[in-house]
Amino acid sequence: MSEILGSISTSHVPAIGGAIAKCLQQDPYWKPFFDGFNRAQAWLAEHQPDVAVVVYNDHGLNFFLDKMPTFAIGAAATYTSSDEGWGIPTIAPVGGDQELSWAIIEGVVADEFDVTTCQEMLIDHAVTIPLQLLWPDRTPPVRIVPISVNTVQHPLPSAARCLKFGQAIGRAITGFPSESKVVVVSTGGLSHQLDGERAGMINPEFDELCLNSLVNEPTKLTGYSTHNLVELSGTQGVEILNWIVGRGILGSPTREIHRNYHIPISNTASALQVLERR
Amino acid sequence: MSGTPIPGTYLFDGRMARKGYALNKMCYSFNDAKNRQEFRVDEDAYCDRFGLSEEQKLAIKNRSVLALLAAGGNVYYLAKFAGIFGLNVQDIGAQQTGLSVQEFKARLASYAKFNAAVTAGGPSHV
């Protein structure tokens, strides 16, 4: 059966893509952020996953508001990135794992999560930047299964629903007869707000509570309504929902291998957390 | 949305998604470089092609992010509009808060004092 090794959760701020393109990893502004990834890269080198299940939100590249799925699962052979309008470089196409994609789709629908399936799916910076951070300067040595969560147009799925969705994905993966080793990559967050007069708000206290809770008490986060999450972590801080899905996939309990929290990256409180299944 | 209003914060819900549909659809088109160029050549004609309201056209003309939000714009789509002018989220953050870009960045940087403590809340062996 497939094995879930652990998860790596990271912010996906577009400016990171620009910094990578300009080789600013040693620049004083960026160094504390990029240095945080050394431990995550070492963990990946040690565990050699075959597949990355990437939980993220699309920012108006693959999905427009004409059709906005709450949960969508990629089932493509290859995923390509594209022009997002403001100058982020694209990356080489990344291979998919269609067998695992369909196993997850079968599993979660049987578990009453009626998802949208995507045999074609453009991946935006929320997928490409984490891949570049985890496997710098190379094509990622993993197949990917992208899973998109609507964090853009309210109503959003609740935190409680996201945890259960992740748990259903986890059951589908561990029930899938293959020898694949799977890493979960959850992207987005933590606290940040891009729009409105409150733009630039950051909430380190709530971010810390999220990081601590995700290790072994994710249900501490499922009591927060979407409105609570916006108030506490900002209009885009709701991307914590992607992390909650990812944590659901892992199941319980986990061990925290690594954490790096760094403000500011652009408008965002950036965070990196590596969790390993115990 | 339930809950009391959050000052300075606008939730992009069904009401705003309906109101802003044409505006966001135009901004979505800016994923394509050819469309960005067509907008540059004749802004008014481009706005009319997507059926923008007078409120939306004025907000576009004024490059006013708060007015664009009030007209139903979603920030992820507005970012593609801002990109045409080389503006990033810190530039639009400054505009919305009435700060200079340097002041806006400094305010964000002031939170760096929390970095060590939140990082240290994780595993001690790192």
Residues A220, A229, A116, A249: is their CA dihedral positive or negative?
negative
pLDDT in tens, B84-97: 999 999 999 999 99
| Residue of A59, A125, A154, A227 with catalytic role | A125
Give the tens place of pLDDT for each residue, B54-91.
Answer: 999 999 999 999 999 999 999 999 999 999 999 999 99
Residue B1: name the closest of A92, A109, A277, A153 by CA.
Answer: A153
Extract the tokens encoding A83.
């022009």
What's phi and psi for A53, nearest 5 deg?
A: -90, 115
Looking at every residue in chain B, the average pLDDT score rounds to 95
**Confidence class for position B122, pLDDT limits 50, 70, 90:** confident
Prediction pTM value: 0.97
ipTM: 0.96
A258 vs B90: CB contact, 8 Å cut-off? no
Q: Was domain B11-86 assigned CATH 1.10.700.10?
A: yes
Reply yes or no on whether the pLDDT at B124 is more than 70. Answer: no
Q: What is the pLDDT of residue B80?
A: 97
**Residue in the block written with tokens 């964090």:** A151
Alpha-helix runs per DSSP H in B11-114: 14-19, 21-29, 33-41, 43-49, 54-62, 65-70, 75-84, 89-97, 101-109
Mark yes or no for CB contact B121/A198 under 8 Å: no
**A258: annotated active-site residue:** no
For residue B34, what are the contacts with CB-CB under 8 A and spacing of at least 6?
A: none
- Residue B126 pLDDT greater than 70, yes or no: no
- Helices B33-41 & B75-84 angle (0-180, nearest 10): 70
Domain residue ranges in chain B: 11-86, 88-126
- Cα A251 to Cα A144: distance, rounded to the nearest angstrom: 20
pLDDT in the model for residue A137: 85
Catalytic status, residue A59: no
Under 8 Å CB pairs connecting chains A and B tally to 180
* Secondary structure (3-state) at A158: coil
Q: What structural domains and CATH numbers belong to chain A?
A: 3-277 (3.40.830.10)
- pLDDT per residue of chain A (278 residues) written in tens, 0 to 9: 899 999 999 999 999 999 999 999 999 999 999 999 999 999 999 999 999 999 999 999 999 999 999 999 999 999 999 999 998 999 999 999 999 999 999 999 999 999 999 999 999 999 999 999 999 989 999 999 999 999 999 999 999 999 999 999 999 999 999 999 999 999 999 999 999 999 999 999 999 999 999 999 999 999 999 999 999 999 999 999 999 999 999 998 999 999 999 999 999 999 999 999 98
Which chain A positions have a beta carbon within 8 Å of B89's beta carbon?
Answer: 14-15, 194, 266-267
Strands (E), A150-267: 181-187, 254-265
> Does residue B41 sit at the A interface (CB-CB below 8 Å)?
no
Q: Where are the alpha helices (DSSP H) in A136-203?
A: 159-174
pLDDT value at position A85?
95
